[in-house]
Each structure stands twice: as C-alpha cells, then as structure tokens.
C-alpha cells in the first residue's frame, strides 16, 4: 500500500509571519488540524493544533510551528509512515517528492487504511506487515530472529472437532504469542491460516525463552494442541543479507514443515541442541526435497507438546 | 443639571520625548518560553533594524527559550562564559512569559609591567 493511495493533496498554508491567533482562526474556520508554513514557496514547517494550544497567541507562526519536518514520498509504504508516526509521536506527515510538496497524510487516515490489514479473527496484522518489517530490516542490514509457528494437524483438528473449535485454537495461540512479545522490538503477524510469524530484534536469551514458551504444552477443551516451529537467527545465518525476505520465510517455514514430518515426542531442547550444533543447514542450496530428506535423516525432531 | 453647573472635567497632559533606540533594545534580550514575542520574532526584528549585529542563541532551560545577544560582546568574551553569567542572573527573576531587556558592558582592565631602559 502506497502513501499516494491515502494522502490528501489539498493542503492549507500560512506564512511564518502571521500570528498564532490568526492561524487558530483559519484552522477553526476551515475545520482543519494543521497548516503548512510556507514562505516564498519554501516549506518552513508545520503548525498543528497542538502547537497552537501551547503557544502564546501573539507569537508569530515561526515561533510556534514545528520546524523539523518528517516527510515521506508518495511511493513509500504506508507501514513506513506508520512507524514514523510512532517513532516521532506525531499526527501528520508531509508528502514530498523532489523537494516539492505533494500533500499530507494523517494518522487517522493511516490507521484507517492499516485497520484493513488487520486479521479480524485475532486482531493481529496480516502477512504484508511482516513482509514490510522484514524487508526494511534487511535493507537497513539489521540482523533479526525469524520465528515461524505452525499448528500441527490443524486440518485434522478442524475435521474432528469442528471449525469453531479450530477458530478457538487459533485465538488461543494468538493470545499466547501476543502476551509473549514485546511491542518495542518484536513484530508479530498471523501469516496465513494457522501460521504465525515473529520477527524479533531481542537478544538470544529472550529468544530462547520465547521458543520455550511458544512450544509449551497447551490443552484446549481436553484436546492437546502442538505447534511446529521454524527458527532462524539472522546473526548466525551465513550471508543473511544476501537473502530476500521471501527466501528467509521459505526456509523457516520449511524448517517447521520438517518438524511436522518427524513426529516423535521430543522436547524443544532436542531441536534447540541440534540447532546449536548447526545440524540444520538452512543456508544449503539443495532443493526443498533434498533438504527435507536431509532434515529427516539428521533426525530433526518435531516440536511436539 | 445642577451637578453639571457645579463640576467640570479637565485633562492634564504630560509629554516626555526621548530618542528612539534602534533597535529598541540594548545588548541582550532574554526570551521566556511562553513569552508573547518568541525568539524568531525577536531575531527577525533585530535583523531588520540592525542587520548582522545580533545572534540568537536557543537554550535548553525550563523557563528561558533563547537569548538574543549583540555580536560584539561575543567577540570580546567567550559565548559560554557570557551565557553562564546571564542565565545565572536572569533565571532568578524571569518567568516563562517574560522578555527581559538587559545592558551588558564589558570593561577590560589591564595592568602591565615593563622594564625600564
């Protein structure tokens, strides 16, 4: 989703010489929450209703405006604008292209658009969210942990206990994941169906704890629920940044599939020890079939709870 | 009617004339955070009336937002030394809605000893 899809191009302006009280009048008359401060066709800053409230009405606009403008380009992703809003705790972002003002995008509009990306069932963001986060981190060359969580035998659960129960399972796992992650440095989404993805910037110690918690036994209405987990540590994966997010997701989902295949009741510790010994070579260039066969041969255990 | 006949209304005028200073300030202006005249307005005023003679120094202080200072002062003494003295004195009397005007004169006293021929 591009900024150009939601930005407004009709932006009201004011000169930096005007008084704050006249700016307030203009904002009231037009029923708007901000004015762009423009002198001689040059954007100087933005005056928001928050600025007006906190400045003396006699001051000139130049002394009340927010001078350091946060800007985006029309072709940038809405998720990018959302993270800028959060990071700078602002309500509006100016849309600029080649030093030319193109419009304005508001928090309200961004949130409305992003709510369309919310999964109604769990309240989590859907796959585009995690794709944006992952691609951005790769672009910034920031290593991250990638965790893929997949419910074992979800089809069978639906078949034997009904879809409403399957929905409850999804919700229960989603709640467990939401309670686990930290807003500051973790990113969680319902990737598809019974699959969830976490991208985390946490330290390895916290990731170990996540993996233990995610794979803890869960019983819902006397039905045991287990999950398969694929995990990739960006700090240890060779040539991590040479992969696209799509490739990394494929690898990590493949790891969880391998775990599904090897259905023995073994603890997470078994897999974790194997992972530490680097027996799971996810950077291998072998085909998926070969990788699966190799994975099973090496005895990668299922995360079975 | 009888009241009008008894009383009259008079006005007394007093006119005092002095030279207008350009700019209408001396060496310093100390601007409070919520003052009706903000730092940028003060800077523009000084720049319009006395171009390139004043500098605006924005500061991180709970009540004071900025100090406008005559450049010649900073040529004589280090800016930080001046600012420390100004803030130390001004912060005891300024509220965040005030603009203080100040005069600051620097007198340098030098004593030297020289060898006699």
Q: Is the peptide bond between B34 and the residue preceding it cis, with omega within 30 degrees of 0?
A: no
Name the residue in chain A with its Cα closest to that of B41: A60
User: What pLDDT sits at residue A301?
Assistant: 32
Report phi then psi at B89, rounded to 5.
-80, -40
Considering only the beta carbons, identify the residue of A56, A57, A62 that sits closest to B35.
A56
Q: How far apart are CA B72 and CA B53, in angstroms?
A: 8
Q: Report residue B19's pLDDT band, with 50, 70 and 90 as the boundaries.
A: confident
Tally A–B CB contacts below 8 A. Answer: 30
Burial of A242 (0-12, 13-18, 19+ CB in 10 A): exposed
Residue range A231-249: mean pLDDT, rounded: 90
| Strands across the sheet containing A145-151 | A186-192, A195-200, A145-151, A227-233
pLDDT confidence band for B3 (50 / 70 / 90)? low
**Residue B97 with chain A: CB contacts under 8 Å:** 56
Whether residues A56 and B36 touch (CB distance < 8 A) is answered with: yes
Q: What is the DSSP string of A22-82?
A: HHHHHHHHHT-SEEEEEETTEEEEEEEHHHHHTS-TTSBGGGTSB-S--EE-TTSBHHHHH
Mean pLDDT (chain A) is 82
Of A227, A224, A193, give the one whose Cα is nearest residue A212: A227
**Higher-scoring residue by pLDDT: A266, B51:** B51
Concatenate the DSSP letters of all residues of A209-235 into one string. Answer: HHHHHHTS-EEETTEEE-EEEEEEETT
For residues A72 and A134, give the distance between their C-alpha atoms in angstroms, rounded to a whole number: 19
Q: Is the ipTM of this complex over 0.90?
A: no
Query: Quick one: closest CA in B to A65, which residue?
Result: B40
Q: Is B80 on the interface with A (CB under 8 A)?
A: no
Chain A residues with beta carbon closer than 8 angstroms to that of B38: 55-56, 59-60, 62-64
Share of chain A above pLDDT 90, in %: 46
Distance between CA B2 and CA A8 in Å, rounded? Answer: 72
For the stretch A146-194, pLDDT in tens is 999 999 889 999 999 999 999 999 999 999 999 999 988 899 999 999 9
Q: Is the confidence at residue B6, as pLDDT, over 90? A: no
């Amino acid at each position: 989703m591009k900024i150009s899809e939601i930005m407004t191009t009709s932006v009201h302006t004011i000169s930096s010489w005007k008084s704050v009280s006249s700016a307030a009048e203009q904002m009231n008359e037009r029923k708007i929450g901000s004015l762009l401060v423009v002198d001689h066709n040059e954007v100087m800053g933005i005056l928001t209703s928050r600025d007006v409230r906190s400045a003396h009405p006699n001051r000139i606009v130049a002394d009340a405006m927010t001078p350091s403008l946060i800007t985006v380009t029309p072709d940038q992703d809405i998720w990018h604008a959302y993270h800028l809003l959060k990071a700078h705790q602002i309500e509006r972002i100016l849309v600029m292209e080649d030093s030319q003002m193109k419009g304005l995008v508001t928090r309200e509009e961004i949130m409305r658009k992003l709510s369309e990306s919310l999964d109604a069932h769990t309240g989590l963001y859907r796959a585009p969210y995690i794709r944006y986060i992952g691609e951005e981190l790769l672009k910034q060359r920031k290593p991250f942990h990638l965790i893929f969580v997949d419910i074992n035998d979800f089809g069978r659960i639906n078949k034997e206990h009904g879809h409403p129960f399957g929905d409850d399972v999804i919700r229960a796992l989603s709640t467990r994941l939401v309670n686990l992650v930290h807003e500051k440095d973790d990113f969680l989404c319902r990737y598809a169906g019974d699959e969830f993805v976490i991208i985390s910037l946490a330290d390895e110690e916290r990731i170990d704890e996540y993996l233990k918690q995610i794979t803890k036994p869960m019983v819902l209405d006397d039905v045991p629920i287990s999950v398969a987990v694929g995990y990739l540590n960006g700090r240890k994966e060779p040539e991590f940044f040479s992969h696209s997010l799509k490739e990394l997701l494929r690898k990590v989902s493949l790891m969880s599939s391998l775990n599904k295949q090897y259905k023995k009741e073994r603890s997470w510790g078994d897999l974790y020890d194997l992972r530490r010994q680097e027996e799971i070579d996810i950077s291998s260039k072998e085909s998926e079939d070969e990788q699966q066969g190799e994975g099973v041969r090496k005895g990668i255990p299922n995360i079975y709870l | 009617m009888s009241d009008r006949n008894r009383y009259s209304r008079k006005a007394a005028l007093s006119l005092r004339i002095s030279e207008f200073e350009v700019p209408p300030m001396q060496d310093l202006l100390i601007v409070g955070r919520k003052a009706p005249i903000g730092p940028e307005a003060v800077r523009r005023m000084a720049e319009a009336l006395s171009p390139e003679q004043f500098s605006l120094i924005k500061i991180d202080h709970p009540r004071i937002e900025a100090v406008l200072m005559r450049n010649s002062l900073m040529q004589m003494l280090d800016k930080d030394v001046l600012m420390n003295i100004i803030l130390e004195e001004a912060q005891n009397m300024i509220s965040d809605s005030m603009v203080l005007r100040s005069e600051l004169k620097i007198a340098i006293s030098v004593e030297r000893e020289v060898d006699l021929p």
